[in-house]
């Protein structure tokens, strides 16, 4: 289950694996700077937050703090800013969200078929990798050493 807390222009999504007591909820509110618990399963708006596929360093630290103060049921905590300032949006690590719900941390990745590279030089050029000659030679050396084709994931 995911609980939502609000503090200024930040929504904190706190995922737990067990029902939290009122005491635990009050401790979380306090740790999050006297945030307000939002008793909703989903929130609509324009939000910017960490990509669901990537746990932020902030989340790791916040979860560890919760564990250290006795709240053992935390799986993940992330911050979502609203209204989303899309000018300061970093699409490498952030996503835009129009809804925060019970599935915001759910990831379903379909495994792709491995494509083997016939020519490292050609693959380097086609994919724009900008590998140096030394790097290409190193990869070829590794390929021979392990007796496998280098593949692209």
Same domain, 75 and 126: no
pTM of the model: 0.71
Name the residue range of residue 138's domain: 115-152
Same domain, 148 and 96: no
Same domain, 54 and 123: no
Quick check: is 135 in a domain? yes
Same domain, 65 and 22: yes
Angle at 55 between CA 50 and CA 61, to 5 degrees: 110
Same domain, 12 and 83: yes
Which residues on neighbouring strands pair with residue 97, listed in sequence order? 47
**CA-to-CA dists, residue 146 to 115, 118, 122, 139, 143, angstroms:** 18, 16, 21, 11, 6
Tokens of 2: 């995911």
3-state secondary structure of 37: strand
Give the mean pLDDT of 105-109: 88
| Least confident interval from 26-35, 116-125, 131-140 | 116-125
What DSSP character marks residue 74?
A: E
């Amino acid at each position: 289950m995911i609980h939502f807390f609000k503090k200024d222009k930040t929504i904190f999504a706190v995922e737990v694996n067990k029902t939290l007591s009122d005491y635990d909820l009050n401790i979380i509110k306090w740790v999050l700077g006297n945030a307000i618990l939002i008793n909703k399963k989903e929130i609509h708006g324009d939000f910017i937050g960490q990509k669901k596929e990537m746990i932020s360093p902030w989340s790791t630290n916040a979860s560890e703090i919760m564990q250290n103060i006795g709240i053992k049921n935390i799986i993940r905590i992330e911050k979502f800013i609203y209204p989303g300032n899309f000018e300061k949006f970093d699409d490498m690590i952030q996503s835009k969200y129009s809804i925060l719900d019970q599935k915001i941390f759910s990831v379903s990745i379909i495994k792709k078929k491995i494509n083997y590279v016939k020519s490292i030089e050609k693959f380097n050029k086609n994919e724009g990798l900008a590998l140096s000659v030394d790097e290409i030679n190193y990869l070829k050396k590794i390929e021979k050493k392990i007796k496998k084709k280098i593949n692209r994931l």
